Structure 1
């Protein structure tokens, strides 16, 4: 069985992330979407909220498992008995960073492979940061994120006044 891990902050999950997940389960037997716990970041959603949003957005995909981790990804991979890391790429700038990460992961454990997937062109501009910025200013995000995420964003920014 080929078990892949798709790590990230997923703050929040977008249609770009879902595209990678849906394509990943066509290639791998099991995909664990692993939410990184990074205390140095200031996420909008808690780890638990992010995991629940991912759970709701992927409930129709039985091969998907939702989890969280902190520390080194390679240590998490060993714990999960997974052998492949999935990374989505939107642009050349993503590739440069992800190549560095893949290289250090390969140095730490040469048995773990990194699988790069180009995002669907219609999501090449999309990031969680952009989604949060649009939602913060009460812009429409319904074509960028699943309905459960749109609702969660609306609640997070309900009392936020837009100033110009």
Structure 2
């Protein structure tokens, strides 16, 4: 029984995030989605709203659990027996960033990581892009999971 950890700030969760988590749930028996709360970072949505939006997306998936995490990913990794960190990458820049994180998490916690490439239809979607849509009051459908939209617009 292998556990995957998928992390992110999910500010907000996008269809790309959703797809990576769904794909991880098909590859691993258990997936823990850790919504990271970094007090040094400025978020559009509160930690609780980000957590609730991700939770709503996966409430019916029995092998996906969601938790709010305020700390180093390496510390979370040490609480779980031999997890694999799963990340997504849209392009070469994302992959290079993930490679750096892989080295950090391996040195701090001995964690293995895999990177799932984004599906073509999600390569251009980023949380920054979605925040621009929100700023200009544009529709989020197709960019953000419908379940998350319901939570975010409340």
Single out whichever of 132-141 and 3-12 deviates more from structure 2.
132-141
Count residues with an aligned counterpart: 154
Larger gyration radius, structure 1 or structure 2: 1
Higher relative contact order (CA 8 A, sep 6+): 2
Mapping 1:1-164, distance limit 5 Å: 1-110=1-110, 112-155=111-154
TM-score normalised by structure 2 residue count: 0.93
TM-score normalised by structure 1 residue count: 0.88
Report the 3-state secondary structure (helix = DSSP H, G, I; strand = E; otherwise coil) of the residue aligned with 1:68. strand
Q: Which runs of 5+ in 2 are unaligned?
A: none
> Is the alpha carbon distance of 1:10 and 1:108 closer, same or farther for their aligned partners in structure 2, counting shifts above 3 Å?
same
Separation (CA, whole Å) in 2 of partners of 1:42 and 1:148? 24
Q: Which runs of 5+ in 1 are unaligned?
A: 156-164
CA RMSD in angstroms, aligned pairs only: 1.4
Separation (CA, whole Å) in 1 of partners of 2:15 and 2:97? 22
Separation (CA, whole Å) in 1 of partners of 2:20 and 2:115? 10
Cα deviation for residue 45 of structure 1 reads 1.4
Cα deviation for residue 139 of structure 1 reads 1.2
| Conserved 8 A contact 1:131-1:141 | yes
